């Protein structure tokens, strides 16, 4: 196994995830099988209970719920009959950077590809409780650091693509900034892993930041922060093989030479990653600076046997990537999407959705213009408290080519979301509702079209007479962390829905599989009444009990889904749900359906 560690210095949010993903993509283009692991030094078990405004979105992978047999103190395996000790592990919720890896590398990762301090300590403590360490004093070194290394070596071997092959290279992204106190055990562990892996099997890319002072074209590029950051990494026991310098503008030759000289590195070991028009140009930028050749020398990649079919596939993948990236530079026609959400103050809260829009826009040959609308600004209270924000928000909604209402939790801003849904429905504006967006679309239709008195949601309107949205009966209400319906589940297209615009994009496939993250669902007892009023439930789960897709027949595109289509959207394979929405907004739905609606 070859390992490539990507660490960061100077500041957080410097772009480690994009550089790690781009590096993996370049390795795939020469026929290698690549996997990825993200290390997050926070104590949370996963990102499921974190605030989207603070941490960004929670990414969800394929993992389904699965039972784990626990080992009790008597060292006997427990059976399913021991209900009190039988744990049902809820999988899939993890850091948003895992989404970058899947989108760039066309891989399918698991919950174990995201390591957190909480997971490691939980595993070690549970092992200690059952006598795994044979009475020894359990310490950070060697028990925690060994557990980290063992975890990485185990997960790195898990097949992550359709080939089913064990990966050749594992990209490890170390979250946070080197020097953070919480990262210390992980840094010590990966420094030991470097010795475990052996010579020519481990390389490190350290991502640093080169500020310009004063800011602007005439400013001076400062190298001192990078020098200090590299010194910190070395003092922590790691020796970077490459420095990726993030900067707003291209680095001057003198700046690169100075960094190489002061950090005792060769000129080719310093890679400049300046701002580009889209993040999809970053792999091209790294390829131009011969990053792949440098890594090949460091890791002796030429000795890895590569089947001809895989090499050809990698070459084709690279050609498609380059064509798509360059095509964005020559687009002039714009399509606008008003994203009406609760967490728009931090765009990373919807990063997968925004990326899925970009993927779809590239295939529709349009330049995407995202309009971020805080849903609370659409409500009547905003007119009194902040009239300027109220009028701007409504101007953005009314002038957009399309409207999307995404997922979220809690009551705040939901009235504004429903107002936006009413506008899209009545004005025939292409609309896409996702998760909470679907539930609110159902409530809006129940109230305004089906005339169901006091229709509401058990989550948002506890005292409503008629709950169109209810708590799923099989979800544990006593806990928040990891208790939702998560992971990939099938959705069956219903008989008599052949007219569906969304269904047409999937050809003759009777069912699709998408990733979910929700606790509430449409009340099955209210479905018949809603369908009589004209709201069609196009897709349901395999038992026909959970509503997955709604669509209005006489509308250019009014579709809402319980699943999250953005989680399966890829740069080279856009989500059909999102693609249809954006194509309707762009006026090219018929062309896109003719291309993508062929049998898969």
Q: Cβ distance 373 to 344 under 8 Å?
A: yes
User: How far apart are the C-alpha atoms of 129 and 138, rounded to whole Å?
Assistant: 11
- Known catalytic residue: 566? yes
User: How far apart are the C-alpha atoms of 506 and 502, rounded to whole Å?
Assistant: 7
Tell me the sheet residues that pair with 518: 485
- Known catalytic residue: 398? no
529 Cβ partners below 8 Å, 6+ apart? 450, 452
User: How far apart are the C-alpha atoms of 304 and 318, rounded to whole Å?
Assistant: 20
CB atoms within 10 A of CB 579: 26
What is the residue-wise DSSP string for 376-388?
A: GGGSHHHHHH-HH
Run of H or E residues at 6 = strand 2-8
Which tokens sit at 131? 């006598």
What's the distance, CA 153 to chain centroid?
23
Which tokens sit at 302? 């030429």
Which tokens sit at 296? 């090949």
DSSP state, residue 81: T
What is the residue-wise DSSP string for 233-260?
A: HHHTT---SEEEEEESSPPPHHHHHHHH
Q: How close are the terminal C-alpha atoms of the chain, in Å? A: 34
Place of tokens 């470097």: 194
CB atoms within 10 A of CB 588: 17
Residues 435, 444, 521, 551: which is the catalytic one? 435
Of 41, 35, 174, 68, whose CA–CA distance to 482 is shortest? 68
- Known catalytic residue: 153? no
Give the HSE-up count for residue 160: Cα atoms under 13 Å, Cβ half-sphere.
32
User: How far apart are the C-alpha atoms of 598 and 600, rounded to whole Å?
Assistant: 6
User: Known catalytic residues?
Assistant: 435, 564, 566
């Amino acid at each position: 196994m070859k390992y490539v560690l990507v660490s960061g210095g100077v500041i957080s949010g410097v772009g480690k995830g994009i550089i790690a993903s781009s590096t993996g993509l370049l390795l795939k283009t020469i026929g290698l099988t690549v996997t990825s692991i993200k290390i997050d030094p926070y104590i949370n078990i996963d990102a499921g209970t974190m605030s989207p405004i603070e941490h960004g979105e929670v990414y969800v992978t394929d993992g389904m719920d699965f039972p784990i047999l626990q080992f009790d103190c008597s060292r006997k395996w427990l059976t399913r009959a021991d209900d009190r000790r039988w744990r049902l592990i809820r999988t899939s919720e993890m850091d948003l950077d895992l989404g970058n890896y899947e989108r760039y590398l066309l891989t399918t990762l698991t919950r174990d590809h995201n390591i957190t301090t909480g997971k490691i300590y939980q595993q070690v403590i549970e092992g200690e409780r059952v006598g795994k360490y044979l009475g020894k004093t359990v310490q950070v070194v060697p028990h925690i650091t060994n557990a980290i290394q063992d975890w990485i070596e185990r997960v790195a071997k898990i097949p992550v693509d359709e080939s089913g092959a064990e990966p050749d290279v594992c990209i490890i992204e170390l979250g946070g900034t080197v020097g953070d106190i919480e990262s210390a055990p992980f840094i010590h562990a990966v420094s030991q892993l470097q010795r475990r892996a052996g010579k020519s099997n481990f390389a490190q890319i350290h991502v640093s930041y080169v500020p310009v002072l004063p800011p602007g074209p005439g400013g001076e590029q400062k190298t001192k922060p990078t020098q200090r950051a590299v010194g910190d990494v070395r003092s922590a026991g790691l020796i970077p093989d490459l420095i990726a310098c993030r900067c707003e503008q291209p680095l001057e030759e003198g700046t690169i030479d100075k960094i190489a000289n002061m950090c005792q590195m060769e000129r080719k070991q310093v890679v400049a990653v300046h701002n580009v028009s889209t993040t999809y140009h970053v792999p091209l930028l790294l390829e131009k600076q011969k990053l792949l050749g440098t890594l090949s020398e460091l890791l002796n990649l030429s000795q890895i046997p590569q089947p001809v079919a895989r090499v050809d596939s990698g070459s084709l993948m690279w050609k498609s990537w380059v064509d798509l990236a360059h095509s964005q530079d020559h687009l002039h026609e714009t399509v606008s999407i008003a994203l009406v959400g609760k967490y728009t103050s931090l765009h990373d809260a919807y990063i997968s959705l925004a990326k899925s829009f970009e993927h779809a826009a590239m295939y529709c040959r349009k330049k995407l213009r995202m309009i971020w609308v805080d849903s609370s600004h659409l409500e009547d209270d905003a007119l009194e408290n902040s009239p300027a924000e109220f009028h701007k928000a409504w101007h953005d909604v009314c002038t957009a080519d399309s409207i999307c209402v995404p997922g979220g939790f809690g009551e705040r801003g939901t009235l504004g979301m429903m107002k936006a849904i009413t506008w899209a429905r009545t004005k025939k504006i292409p609309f896409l509702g996702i998760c909470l967006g679907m539930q609110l679309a159902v409530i809006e239709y129940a109230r305004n079209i089906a005339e169901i008195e006091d229709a509401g949601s058990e989550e948002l309107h506890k005292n409503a007479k008629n709950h169109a949205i209810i708590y799923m009966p099989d979800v544990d209400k006593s806990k928040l962390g990891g208790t939702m319906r998560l992971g990939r589940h099938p959705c069956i297209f219903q008989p008599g829905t052949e007219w569906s615009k969304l269904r047409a994009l999937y050809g003759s496939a009777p069912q699709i599989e998408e990733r979910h993250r929700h606790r509430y669902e449409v009340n099955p007892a209210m479905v018949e009444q809603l369908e009589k009023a004209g709201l069609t439930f196009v897709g349901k789960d395999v038992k026909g009990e959970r509503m997955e897709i709604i669509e209005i027949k006489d509308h250019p595109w009014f579709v809402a889904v319980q699943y999250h289509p953005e989680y399966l959207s890829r740069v080279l394979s856009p989500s059909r749900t999102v693609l249809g929405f954006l194509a309707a907004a762009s006026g090219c739905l018929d062309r896109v359906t003719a291309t993508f609606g062929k049998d898969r």
